[in-house]
Amino acid sequence: MPTEMSATVIDSVIFRNVFSTGPMRRVFSDANRVQKYLDFEAALARAEARLGVIPQDAADEIVRHCRVAEIDFAKLETETVRIGYPVLPVVEQIVALCRDGLGEWCHWGATTQDVTDSATVLQIREALTLIEADIDRIGATLADLARKYRDTPMAGRSNLQQAVPITFGYKVATLLAGFERHRQRLSQLRERVLVGEFGGAAGTLASLGGRGLEVQAVLMKELRLAAPVIAWHTMRDTIAEVGCCLGLLAGTCGKFALDVKLSMQTEVAEIFEPFHSGRGSSSTMPQKRNPISSVYITALNSVVRQQVAALLDAMVEDHERSSGPWEIEWIVLPEIFCLTAGALAHTLTVLDGLQIDEKKMRENLDATNGLIVSEAVMMELGRYLGRQRAHDVVYDFCRQALATGRRLSDLLAEDREIATHIDRAGLARLCDPANYLGEAGAMVDRVLETRTKQG
């Protein structure tokens, strides 16, 4: 039996590695969060000592005790419930650990939100590194698949019906292009998001007697964060931006998962999740092979989307320090990151072992006896009959093909008017889906080239 208490899927002994990942949970763990508080306090002490704002021996003593191993978490829990926030109880423990009252210089000129927000940004920096690594792995796998299946024909689908032929490489490359855009977004937002907070009570740094901006600049260098041009205590757009980007990312994973689920249907059977003994089996129907990772991705994407909405609600904050919306971030931001990490992990699992049935793709292309390339016939006949009349003629022959089960090319070849313009061999070429792939291959090449240029 598990010895720890866990109530959510993120922390559940049973579900935690289904809905999230260990590395991302560690980023948003209590231990790492508190260590980030301590990192802030240590950096602040070093910065203020360097500028002569606090004594050097006080800074040395404070820094010496800014280690999470020295924090009493049982006491921290009790005091957080009593006070309402964890930062002051952490500071109180640092003060108590320091000799000769030197700890009284800890947290000099700072406020709880400075510590909390800067710690959150430090966690975001770590978390983005994990997210970007997963995107890179997904991109590399998709690029390999796009290259390998560049010219493998399959049915493109519109409204869940066969539309015109595409290639599997083209289908994969459209997904790759989306992940490349996500990689760009996350790279671009770093400049805006990886900004620390140090403003004091209402953001003006009044308590430091004219030295506030100096301290802020040195503090941010210590933390390797950009310095804010002005306090952002109640301007939460950058935090919301991170959440929105993760929502977009999870949405792309969800689109991929939906296509996999549809492609695994018995009547389609073109691509499948990796097979492992027992995975996806039904408790009552031995023949079934259910999608598993794709199902979880669908659920994860849905919840991330809802949590992003809550993060947008958290932007509506009152005056210079908020009365409630800020705490929404504490709840949903870790969940957004953890659940997105889970969606990415499942996406990687599917892609790394994706099973592709090229023979079935071809069978499905031929399933309508040439109707999938009726557009090709219409466009060619349009040269002789005009586009609208060609459309009407081909439309009628498509109805006949559906009613009789005969091949479209055979019906067309029997028509005297059409035969005067296109012979049977020409019609056979027009009705071969492999001959109507348009610029699919060239577009795959462009996506791959763009990825190479971006490095």
Contact 197, 228 (CB under 8 A): yes
Q: Which of 50, 147, 321, 362 is catalytic?
A: 321
How far is CA 424 from each of CA 272, 377, 407, 420, 429, rounded to the nearest angstrom? 38, 12, 12, 10, 9
Under a CB-based contact definition with an 8 Å cutoff, are residues 415 and 135 in contact?
A: no
Bridging pattern class, strands 355-356 and 271-272: antiparallel
25 is catalytic: no
CA distance 436 to 422: 17
Residue pair 111/203 in contact (Cβ under 8 Å)? The answer is: no
Query: Has 192 been annotated as catalytic?
Result: no
Question: For residue 353, what are its two tokens?
Answer: 């072992």
Determine how many CB atoms are found less than 10 A away from the CB of residue 416: 6
And the tokens for 225? 């964060």
Q: 272 — phi, psi (to 5°)?
A: -140, 150
| Residues in the chain, total | 455
Q: Name the catalytic one among 282, 323, 387, 389.
A: 282
Quick count: other Cβ atoms within 10 Å of Cβ 210? 8
Mind telling me the catalytic residues?
282, 321
